[in-house]
Chains A and B, each alone.
Chain A
Amino acid sequence: MAKPILTIKDLTKKYSDNVIFHDINLTVNEGDTIVIIGPSGTGKSTLLRCINLLTRADGGQIWLDDQEITAKHCDEDVVRQHIGMVFQNFLLFNHLTALDNVMLGLTKVKHMKPEPAREKAMQELDRVGLSDRAGHYPGQLSGGQQQRVAIARALAMDPRIMLFDEPTSALDPELIGEVLEVMRKLALEGMTMLVVTHEMGFAREVADRIVFLEKGSIVEEGTPEDLFYRPKHDRTREFLWKITELYGKKDAGK
């Protein structure tokens, strides 16, 4: 029986009168990779930020495991330790080496001693294939390497779930592959992941479920086969056709 790690119920976010999304319901089970797709400006990024409480939702509830993290008494700093987040523009700490970027959360947030923290950080860098770049500063790394360090930084906290906010959108095309490869590996290792992306190849191959979000609500949700080959809504078909054409795969949305 699948165990839900993240449960979202009737989540709503608005800026004054402008509704970003409303009544979102979503369950992410342990080990699942859920990919969220949808046009720009439909609240995908805001949704991820609401999930790790960087932005407060205006309505609805979120549970991480059995804890309601939208509850008033909930310590958001503790919640965020358990939710890994990877940003579109990497956001590595510019003044720290790759190793220190990964170590910092361990020493400052988890209060680990420097030696075990360093060891753990090196393991995580190794996991994303960058242990040989431990002493490099972000400015000395390529975009793809920076994003892999950012993934290692999030993984080091041993999160229950990883959120990816368009992790390859800011990358040159030839650097996208290395980041997707790391993510694919994570998914295979059983990491629970919620990914916002336009990479349809990744979505189709790795996702357990794809969620199509448009104009602030979920239009359709299903397995990659369902969405790509048997979409229930015309909008889903249209969007998938457009985006796969854009990314050079015309066989979708038939």
Chain B
Amino acid sequence: MNVARFLQYIASGTAFTVGVTVIALPFGLLLGAVLAFLNVYSGKMVKNLTSIYSTMMRGIPPIVLLFILYFIVSGEINLSPFWAGSISLGIVSSAYQMEIIRGAILSVSGGQMMAARAIGMTKNQAIRNIILPQTLRLAIPPWSNEAAIVIKDSSLVYALGVPEVLRRAQLISASTQQPFLAYAAAAAIYFILVFITNRLLDALEKRLRIPANP
């Protein structure tokens, strides 16, 4: 097998790696954001439940959660390993993203809410128009860290048999006895994906930054 085909075999797993990330990350963001706003703005009962969710999810290794969630999710509904893995990873990530968004909400000053209520906005209007836009801006830098983690953690779904980059590297290294080349290629792909993502998010943060005098 020549080197080009060898590398091509591994690189074709990139679609799965990107696919898992592109499903898991927004799914985790949506769930995490909803949980974060519930945690900050709802009653004691919901606050406690969301806190317990966050603490539990963050206290278990992602791979263990992945197995548990995969067997629950695919036991209930017939899902392919790709979808089950992506959603599971999204659920794992939601706990971390919840904490990121929660931190951002809390760092928007309480006065913003008060000022919004003072002109007659309802709590929901204030959250939507005032708190959320500021929160999301503040969340971009820590969120870009989580995005990198999810890209890298997408390699965990190899354990479910999804033919993504790491899985392919492992297969081809076994069949060609070239582990270094195989894993180095996989490492390079992950690195490039993370690098590009971080650059894009940096650019987004600059673009959305609120103008102010120095």
Seen from chain A, the residues whose Cβ lies within 8 Å of a Cβ on chain B are 52, 54, 77-78, 80-81, 83, 85, 87, 89, 91-95, 104-105, 108-109, 137-140, 150, 153-154, 157
Asked if B68 is at the interface of the complex by the 8 Å CB criterion, the answer is no
Asked if B59 is at the interface of the complex by the 8 Å CB criterion, the answer is no
Instruction: For residue B196, give the distance in angstroms from its CB to the closest CB of chain A.
Output: 27
Closest B residue by C-beta to A52: B118
Interface string of B129-145 (1 = CB under 8 A from A): 11001100100000000
The one of A80, A95, A137, A138 in contact with B119, judged by C-beta atoms closer than 8 angstroms, is: A80
Asked if B115 is at the interface of the complex by the 8 Å CB criterion, the answer is yes
Instruction: For residue A173, give the distance in angstroms from its CB to the closest CB of chain B.
Output: 20
Interface string of B195-214 (1 = CB under 8 A from A): 00000000000000011110
Give the chain B neighbours of A138 by CB distance below 8 A: 212
Known: A104-B129, A108-B129. Is A94-B118 also a contact (CB below 8 A)? no
Is there contact, CB below 8 Å, between A78 and B114? Answer: no
Give the chain A neighbours of B134 by CB distance below 8 A: 94-95
Seen from chain B, the residues whose Cβ lies within 8 Å of a Cβ on chain A are 109, 111-112, 114-122, 125, 129-130, 133-134, 137, 210-213
Is there contact, CB below 8 Å, between B116 and A85? Answer: no
Is there contact, CB below 8 Å, between A108 and B125? Answer: yes
Give the chain B neighbours of A54 by CB distance below 8 A: 114, 117-118
Q: How far is the CA of A30 from the CA of B155 in the complex (A)?
A: 70
Instruction: For residue B210, give the distance in angstroms from its CB to the closest CB of chain A.
Output: 5
Is there contact, CB below 8 Å, between A81 and B119? Answer: yes
Closest A residue by C-beta to B129: A108
Known: A77-B120, A105-B121, A109-B121. Is A137-B211 also a contact (CB below 8 A)? yes
**Besides A87-B118, A140-B211, A140-B212, 7 other A-B contacts (C-beta < 8 A):** A87-B114, A108-B125, A109-B119, A109-B120, A109-B125, A154-B119, A157-B119
Is there contact, CB below 8 Å, between A105 and B119? Answer: yes
Give the chain B neighbours of A78 by CB distance below 8 A: 120
Q: How far is the CA of A80 from the CA of B122 in the complex (A)?
A: 10
Give the chain B neighbours of A157 by CB distance below 8 A: 119-120
Is there contact, CB below 8 Å, between B121 and A108? Answer: yes
**18 pairs, A vs B, C-beta closer than 8 Å:** A54-B118, A77-B120, A83-B118, A87-B114, A91-B115, A94-B210, A105-B119, A108-B121, A108-B125, A109-B119, A109-B120, A109-B121, A139-B211, A139-B212, A140-B212, A153-B119, A154-B118, A157-B120
Is there contact, CB below 8 Å, between B116 and A77? Answer: no
Closest B residue by C-beta to A105: B119
Closest A residue by C-beta to B115: A91
Closest A residue by C-beta to B212: A139
Q: How far is the CA of A80 from the CA of B130 in the complex (A)?
A: 17
Instruction: For residue A237, give the distance in angstroms from its CB to the closest CB of chain B.
Output: 35
Instruction: For residue A52, give the distance in angstroms from its CB to the closest CB of chain B.
Output: 6
**Most-contacted residue by chain A among B114, B116, B119, B133 (CB, 10 A):** B119
Instruction: For residue B127, give the distance in angstroms from its CB to the closest CB of chain A.
Output: 12
The one of B109, B121, B133 in contact with A77, judged by C-beta atoms closer than 8 angstroms, is: B121
Closest B residue by C-beta to A163: B118
Is there contact, CB below 8 Å, between B115 and A87? Answer: yes
Closest B residue by C-beta to A135: B211
